[in-house]
Amino acid sequence: MSPKPIRKAVFPVAGLGTRFLPATKVVPKELLPVVDRPLIQYAVDEAREAGIEQMIFVTGRGKTGIVEHFDIAFELEKTMTERGKDLSVLEPTRATPGDVIAVRQQVPLGLGHAIWCARAIVGDEPFAIFLPDELMVAREGGTGCMKQMVEAYNEVGGNLISVLEVPMEQVSSYGVIDPGAADGALTEVRGLVEKPPLAEAPSNKIVSGRYILQPEVMRVLEHQGKGAGGEIQLTDAMAKMIGQQPFHAVTFDGARYDCGSKVGFVEATLAIALARPDMGAEVRAIAEKLLG
């Protein structure tokens, strides 16, 4: 019997984005554009490609622009139509009525708490989570990260997280897995630890912003105390589910950019611009000139 389908995705977007101040004082980090699409658009496109229908945004004060982005801009569309302009560029921002839902996290108490804020909408179904500041880019002709994860989920069920390998000295900034048996891109997860000291890190495989979780995680989060950094951590709640339910990691076949950091954001912008047929050659020439 195949596992219950993944129809819902939670996008926690209530963080303060302090690393990008002053840019994020008024504009949410998730609306910062990589070339000409905001970060949140890349994440929603990846969800749609994976067959996900319902997009649940966990927002906070000043974040309503994210929900607006997926509404119809009536005056803009009317004026563009009158001027004979092509509206197809807005196509990815159109949502099926009723399929964009916003819930509020009043205080940013941590990623785990943000996910828990979506519990009533998630209900009793497995669901996906996307951290939009981690930009996952498919290989040319390949599929996106969540689609790869859903394919793996259809085989093994349970809980899945995407992982990638980083140099060992960087692990203390991330959630890290204790890996078990591996089969191709799929690795069994025996344990999870958030921001471990280097000496205690069980591997260099870090959790990278995409998850498929069973609804039981909401019950665990209900009682989850503060962890690393004084925040309610999703990693700690997931760690408690290991052994109770199947738990696997998927190594994404594609590129990942950490757009929560300034250098990662610049890297993503360059990589995406260079790969775009409409501007790649021009950007390459500019980059070569700048590099002397």
Residues of this chain that interact with ligand UTP (CB under 6 A) are: 12-19, 29, 58, 105, 108-111, 113-114, 131-133, 260
Contact 162, 149 (CB under 8 A): yes
Nearer to ligand UTP, 108 or 246 (CB): 108
Cβ partners under 8 Å of residue 268, min gap 6: 34, 135, 137, 257, 259
* In the complex, minimum distance from the CB of residue 22 to ligand UTP, in angstroms, rounded to a whole number: 12
CA dist 62 and 34 (Å) reads 20
Residue of this chain nearest to ligand UTP (CB atom): 15
* In the complex, minimum distance from the CB of residue 109 to ligand UTP, in angstroms, rounded to a whole number: 5
Nearer to ligand UTP, 31 or 95 (CB): 31
Cβ partners under 8 Å of residue 118, min gap 6: 10, 56, 58, 103
CA dist 186 and 220 (Å) reads 25
SS (H, E, C) 147-180: HHHHHHHHHHCCEEEEEEECCHHHHHHCEEEEEE
The DSSP annotation for 228-240 comes to: GGGS--HHHHHHH
Nearer to ligand UTP, 61 or 139 (CB): 61
Nearer to ligand UTP, 17 or 157 (CB): 17
* In the complex, minimum distance from the CB of residue 212 to ligand UTP, in angstroms, rounded to a whole number: 17
Nearer to ligand UTP, 156 or 166 (CB): 166
Which uninterrupted H or E stretch holds 220? helix 216-222
Nearest-5° angle of CA 231, CA 12, CA 216? 75
Tokens of 192: 């999870």
φ/ψ of residue 49, rounded to 5: -60, -30
3-state helix, strand, coil in the chain (%, to 5): 40, 25, 35
* In the complex, minimum distance from the CB of residue 231 to ligand UTP, in angstroms, rounded to a whole number: 7
* In the complex, minimum distance from the CB of residue 127 to ligand UTP, in angstroms, rounded to a whole number: 15
* In the complex, minimum distance from the CB of residue 136 to ligand UTP, in angstroms, rounded to a whole number: 14
Closest to 214 (Cα-Cα) out of 49, 3, 2: 3
Nearer to ligand UTP, 18 or 88 (CB): 18
Nearer to ligand UTP, 62 or 108 (CB): 108
* In the complex, minimum distance from the CB of residue 214 to ligand UTP, in angstroms, rounded to a whole number: 20
